Amino acid sequence: MRSVLSFYVAYVLCALLGIICVVLVSYWNAKWRGGFAWDGSPAQFNWHPVLMVTGLVALYGNGAVIYRIPLTWGQNKLPWKLLHASVLLVALVLTILGLVAVFDFHNANHIPNLYSLHSWIGIATVALFVTQWVMGFAVFLLPWSPMALRSFAKPAHVWMGAMILVLSIVSCISGINEKLFFSLKGTTNGTLPYSKLPTEAVVANSLGACIVALGLVVLKILSNQSWKRPDPSQAEVDYRPLPNDDS
């Protein structure tokens, strides 16, 4: 009972941190970075951090732990598989839109693409995310996928999911720092320098801290064996007769 209660405390914290991250990144870009548009202006760039944090961190992190909710244990797994895949698909679509926003902004303003470490890690993270989702769909949702393949792929699927979250966190916090260094230049552009820690920097740094905290909570949930979904019994009903399916 204590373990279940602890899980729900962690799960609620995960959800709250996801909401806080989305609120902070939206507030930062709306108040200090000029709002949002899709016209090649800096306001278009502002969609990039909002969509990446929402997709790669908030939705991805919460979607990754859906399988661990105790209320789902012993139930038909198909609806939860579909919910898990759907949340991650929405996260992936938002992430791709975030990439489109920044590439389109760079191209419109003749700014080079993919030159920074942040961009290298970010594009690698998205590529792994796409691969993970497609492979997960093919292996765990298609009804003709053999059981042996599911059993073989499950550990790699879980490990890769956690690594994508880690890379997402690295991408986002490095992007936050990069943006602050570019934007808070002091007298050259009428802002206080980053080293003076203006209010904008406090908000953006707080966003980074919340992203890290969310990642730690999600990784704790995924690594705690007592919160792992129990192996299905012979009586568990799945979408087809797969009595030993533990994917």
Render the burial of 137-163: b for 16+ CB within 10 Å, e for the rest. Answer: eebbeeeebeeeebeebeeebeebbee
> What local confidence, expressed as pLDDT, does residue 234 receive?
35
Q: Residue 243's CB: how many other CB atoms inside 10 A?
A: 12
> What local confidence, expressed as pLDDT, does residue 72 receive?
82
- 41's CB contacts (< 8 A; 6+ apart) are 34, 105
The CATH code of domain 2-227 reads 1.20.120.1770
> What local confidence, expressed as pLDDT, does residue 3 receive?
81
Residue 141 has pLDDT above 70, yes or no: yes
| For range 202-225, the mean pLDDT | 96
- pTM for the structure as a whole: 0.90
> What local confidence, expressed as pLDDT, does residue 34 receive?
95
Q: Average pLDDT over the chain, rounded to whole?
A: 91
With contact defined as beta carbons under 8 Å apart, do 231 and 242 qualify?
no
- 68's CB contacts (< 8 A; 6+ apart) are 7, 11, 221, 222, 227, 228, 229
Q: Return the HEC string of 63-112.
A: HHCHHHCHHHCCCCHHHHHHHHHHHHHHHHHHHHHHHHHHHHHHHHCCCC
| For range 203-208, the mean pLDDT | 98
Task: Pull the structure tokens for residue 141.
Answer: 């949702």
% the chain with pLDDT above 90: 78
Q: Among candidates 197, 206, 202, 199, which has minimal Cα distance to 173?
A: 206
With contact defined as beta carbons under 8 Å apart, do 228 and 70 qualify?
no
Residue 146 has pLDDT above 80, yes or no: yes
| For range 70-83, the mean pLDDT | 87
Virtual torsion, Cα 245, 77, 236, 3, nearest 10 deg = 100
> What local confidence, expressed as pLDDT, does residue 243 receive?
41
Domain edges within the chain: 2-227
- Taking the C-alpha atoms of residue 124 and residue 140, their distance in angstroms, rounded to an integer, is 24
Residue 238 has pLDDT above 60, yes or no: no
> What local confidence, expressed as pLDDT, does residue 223 receive?
93
Q: Among candidates 136, 39, 131, 55, which has minimal Cα distance to 96?
A: 55
Q: Among candidates 216, 204, 205, which has minimal Cα distance to 25?
A: 204
pLDDT one-digit tens code per residue, 148-187: 999 999 999 999 999 999 999 999 999 999 999 999 987 6
pLDDT one-digit tens code per residue, 1-60: 668 899 999 999 999 999 999 999 999 999 999 999 999 999 999 999 999 999 999 999
> What local confidence, expressed as pLDDT, does residue 1 receive?
62
